[in-house]
A and B are shown apart, each in its own frame.
Chain A
Amino acid sequence: MARIDTDLSSTQVQEEFSGSAGHAKPGSVLLRELVAHLRERRTQLREEWARRITEAQLLTAMTKDEIFAEATSVYDNYVEALETGTFEALQAYARNLSERVIPRGVETHEVVGIVLLLRDVLARSLFAKYQTDFTKLNRILDAYEPAANRIANTVAVGFVQERERIIREQQEAIRELSTPVLQVRERLLILPIIGVIDPQRARQLTEQLLRGIRTNRAKVVVIDITGVAAMDATVANHLVQTVEASRLLGATVIVTGLSPEIAQTIVNIGVDLGKMNTVGDLQGGIEQAERLLGYKVVPLAESS
């Protein structure tokens, strides 16, 4: 923003102007004046802000009362951050707010949007107040802008971090769900795998299976990958390692449901197929497992 520096010889200007970075030290006269103004006009500015939020169709997931209540908290935290120059309380508030609104479906652009709107509303009120003293307005803005930018940044980053945390949690939950280890007979486990396996999921799968073998004292495991469309060489290697590690625990692994693409990948990476016990489909795999365990399944005699 272009600034017209007039009257630079004035001693008051020398005192208050703190370099091109423009970050006024907390407790400086200008900053106190700014904060006082914001506190004095609290009611009107909050209402204007809430009005502009609704006008911009932000926070549609929330009621007018909820918006006003949150607006009040944000406003007060905002002013306090301006006053103290410390942002920890604001960061904590931003996280807390995010935790509450994300499940309601509030998006990042909405949160960033409302903070920027507040910045605008407050800036406009400063323009209005100091419109007769352009020099003073410039100095006030020098105090206001860096702090306001940092606040917007803090809130946005807090929100995004909270979303990332939730996404990680959900990914973890999905992984847990996706690889159940199921006992279908004494000493026989099935591991049906569905979807995409990345190296991390492959590793988690192996750990879960090995623990399952030990807990259930399994002698045979059928790993069914019918539901896996494709697998890269890294993951195919993980699968081979899973088979080998299971053997170290005394369990035989039968892999079933290999798609043509996966069969190709395994041949391409040069796996010693003597190590891999594979059967076409899950049914065949279970039947072979039962034979290995010494079961024989016979139909009950039909009454003639």
Chain B
Amino acid sequence: MEVPILKQGDFLIATVQAALTDADLLHFRRALIQQVVRCRSQGVIVDVTSLDVMDSFASRTLREIAQMIRLRGAQTVIVGIQPEVAFAMVQLGLTLENVATALDLEEGLAHLKQKSESTA
């Protein structure tokens, strides 16, 4: 299952459309960082609106993605975590620490724009 990654100006938008296997997640992580390098992106939005479950491997992979992208000098925002998923995650102790989150795509883009303006 490929995760589509679209370019939007200085940013990339990756939309996760269905539950990903562990292998899919690792593939996604590699594909995303390669795109960031190729496009010289300043920010990445990972949209997980369609996910109705988030396990510890997915959570860890997202944290690693954010860390890797930060090493390229770019920001990551995870958007679209559903209320039920958020609730389940905190109960399992999966808090996505140090990873920016936003309600949806619009908020995520606003966040990235604000961040890139303040560092410009």
Q: Which residues of A contact B (CB under 8 A)?
A: 206-207, 210-211, 213-214, 217, 219, 241-242, 244-251
Name the A residues within 8 Å of B102 (CB-CB): 250
Q: Which residues of B contact A (CB under 8 A)?
A: 78-79, 81-83, 85-87, 89-91, 95-96, 101-104, 107-108, 111
Name the B residues within 8 Å of A210 (CB-CB): 83, 86-87
Query: Of B86, B104, B107, which is within 8 A of A248 by CB?
Result: B86
Smallest beta-carbon distance A28→chain B, Å: 59
Name the B residues within 8 Å of A241 (CB-CB): 87, 90-91
Q: How far is the CA of A244 from the CA of B89 in the complex (A)?
A: 9
Q: Which residue, A207, A217, A250, has most C-beta atoms of chain B within 10 A? A: A250
Cβ contact within 8 Å between A249 and B87: no
Name the B residues within 8 Å of A245 (CB-CB): 83, 86-87, 89-90
Name the A residues within 8 Å of B82 (CB-CB): 214
Cβ contact within 8 Å between B90 and A248: yes
Total contacts A-B at CB 8 Å: 54
Cβ contact within 8 Å between B95 and A211: no
Q: How far is the CA of A213 from the CA of B102 in the complex (A)?
A: 11
Cβ contact within 8 Å between A247 and B101: yes
Q: How far is the CA of A206 from the CA of B107 in the complex (A)?
A: 22
Name the A residues within 8 Å of B90 (CB-CB): 241-242, 244-245, 248
Cβ contact within 8 Å between A244 and B95: yes
Smallest beta-carbon distance A247→chain B, Å: 6
Cβ contact within 8 Å between B86 and A250: no
Cβ contact within 8 Å between A211 and B103: no
Enumerate the 4 nearest inter-chain pairs by beta-carbon distance, A residue then B residue, closest first. A210-B83, A250-B102, A248-B86, A250-B103
Cβ contact within 8 Å between B87 and A251: no
Q: Which residue, A213, A242, A245, A248, has most C-beta atoms of chain B within 10 A? A: A248
Report the nearest A residue to B102, measured CB to CB.
A250
Q: How far is the CA of A217 from the CA of B79 in the complex (A)?
A: 12
Q: How far is the CA of A31 from the CA of B96 in the complex (A)?
A: 73
Report the nearest B residue to A243, measured CB to CB.
B90
Smallest beta-carbon distance B90→chain A, Å: 4
Name the A residues within 8 Å of B104 (CB-CB): 217, 250
Cβ contact within 8 Å between A250 and B101: yes
Smallest beta-carbon distance A203→chain B, Å: 8
Cβ contact within 8 Å between A211 and B83: yes
Query: Can you list 17 A-B contacts with CB-CB less than 8 angstroms, sorted by A residue number?
Result: A207-B87, A210-B83, A214-B82, A214-B103, A241-B91, A245-B83, A248-B81, A248-B85, A248-B90, A248-B95, A248-B101, A249-B83, A249-B101, A250-B102, A250-B103, A250-B104, A250-B111
Report the nearest A residue to B83, measured CB to CB.
A210
Report the nearest A residue to B103, measured CB to CB.
A250
Smallest beta-carbon distance B91→chain A, Å: 7
Name the B residues within 8 Å of A217 (CB-CB): 103-104, 107
Query: Of B85, B87, B101, B108, which is within 8 A of A206 by CB?
Result: B87
Cβ contact within 8 Å between A250 and B107: yes
Smallest beta-carbon distance B11→chain A, Å: 16
- Not counting A219-B103, A248-B96, A249-B101, a sample of 19 additional A-B residue pairs whose C-beta atoms are within 8 angstroms of each other reads A206-B87, A210-B83, A210-B86, A210-B87, A214-B103, A217-B104, A241-B90, A245-B87, A247-B95, A248-B81, A248-B85, A248-B90, A248-B95, A248-B101, A249-B81, A249-B86, A250-B79, A250-B101, A250-B107
